Amino acid sequence: MFVKATGLADPLVASCLPLNVATVKPGHEIITQGDDGDNFYVIDSGKYDIYVNTDSKNRKLVGNYNDEGFFGELALMYNMPRAATIVAATDGVVWGLDRQTFRRIVLKTAFNKRKKYEKLIEGCDMLKSLDMYERMNVCDALSSQTFKDKERIIAQGDKADCMYFVEEGEVRVAMLNKADPKATSEQEISRVGPGGFFGELALVTRKPRAASVYAIGPTKCAVLDVYAFERLMGPCMDIMKRNIDNYESQLTAIFGDKTNISDLR
């Protein structure tokens, strides 16, 4: 992720940076929504609550950090007011990195990554449905992988640990009809091109891969691992489930029954 990518979590790297270590007590408001951004913070220890204002007097708890992670990057990256309030929920220690150093050292890596995946997100209806903060977290979690023509990306029946978004090229989804004991060869069931995704089904159903997927020509995909999927793709679940309902009707049309998909549920 962001901190990993920048190496900031590495104590050796951290010791070379002008980091200010701060100890905090429960209730300490480290960042106040609406303020100008001064520091970026990396959590060393402790729990921190995230609040977002609902109106001028009230705020809502929207999440928390537990002993790891970072916050305060948005205002510094995008020159905008703080988007949330961060309050220490326990005793804790955070490292602060001042605005100038943050922009000089960290911004280059993280911003380039976010820029790199901006096009992918714009071209993908599902990811486009995320808000800016959610999209940026997805960008931080993605990594690209390239495949040669005919290379198998996913094998039917395997355990799943990630999903894929097609950046360049195309893939072929093929399936062995398990309902037919005589079936020996795979049948192509769909193709997915740029802006499309695959490999989400097993992560949603927590079952083995339902089909195999092969590259058609040189293909580049952005990969999201299962941990990031569970952390970040919640808001896309409705779209993904609608997509899975589509599989169901196609399945009936191609194989004549829904045995495969009902096996999956």
Task: Please enumerate, by residue number, every residue annotated as part of a binding site for 3',5'-cyclic AMP.
Answer: 73, 82, 200, 209
Q: How far is the CB of 146 from ligand 1OR (least distance, A)?
A: 19
Which two structure tokens, joined as six digits, stand for 221? Answer: 């995909």
Which two structure tokens, joined as six digits, stand for 168? Answer: 């360049």
Which two structure tokens, joined as six digits, stand for 77? Answer: 């990256």
- Interface residue with ligand 1OR among 142, 210, 228, 232 (CB under 6 A) is 210
| Separation of alpha carbons 45 and 198, rounded Å | 37
- Interface residue with ligand 1OR among 2, 48, 147, 247 (CB under 6 A) is 247
| Separation of alpha carbons 158 and 226, rounded Å | 14
Nearer to ligand 1OR, 60 or 182 (CB): 60
Nearer to ligand 1OR, 16 or 157 (CB): 157
Q: How far is CA 119 from CA 13, 102, 128, 141, 168, in A?
A: 31, 25, 10, 15, 11
Which two structure tokens, joined as six digits, stand for 99? Answer: 């605005």
Nearer to ligand 1OR, 16 or 132 (CB): 132
Nearer to ligand 1OR, 15 or 210 (CB): 210
Nearer to ligand 1OR, 143 or 190 (CB): 190
Which positions from 61 through 80 interact with ligand 1OR, judged by CB under 6 A?
A: 62-63, 71-75
CA-based nearest residue to 221, from 155, 152, 159, 156? 152
Contacts of residue 101, Cβ cutoff 8 Å, sequence gap at least 6: 17, 18
Q: Which residue has the tokens 């005793």?
A: 91
109 sits near ligand 1OR (criterion: CB under 6 A): no
49 sits near ligand 1OR (criterion: CB under 6 A): no
Nearer to ligand 1OR, 16 or 62 (CB): 62
195 sits near ligand 1OR (criterion: CB under 6 A): no
43 sits near ligand 1OR (criterion: CB under 6 A): no
- Interface residue with ligand 1OR among 1, 105, 223, 254 (CB under 6 A) is 254
Q: How far is the CB of 44 from ligand 1OR (least distance, A)?
A: 16
For binding to ligand 1OR (CB under 6 A), which residues are involved?
31, 37, 50, 52, 62-63, 71-75, 82-84, 86, 133, 154, 160, 173, 175, 189-190, 198-202, 209-211, 213, 247, 250-251, 254, 260-261, 264
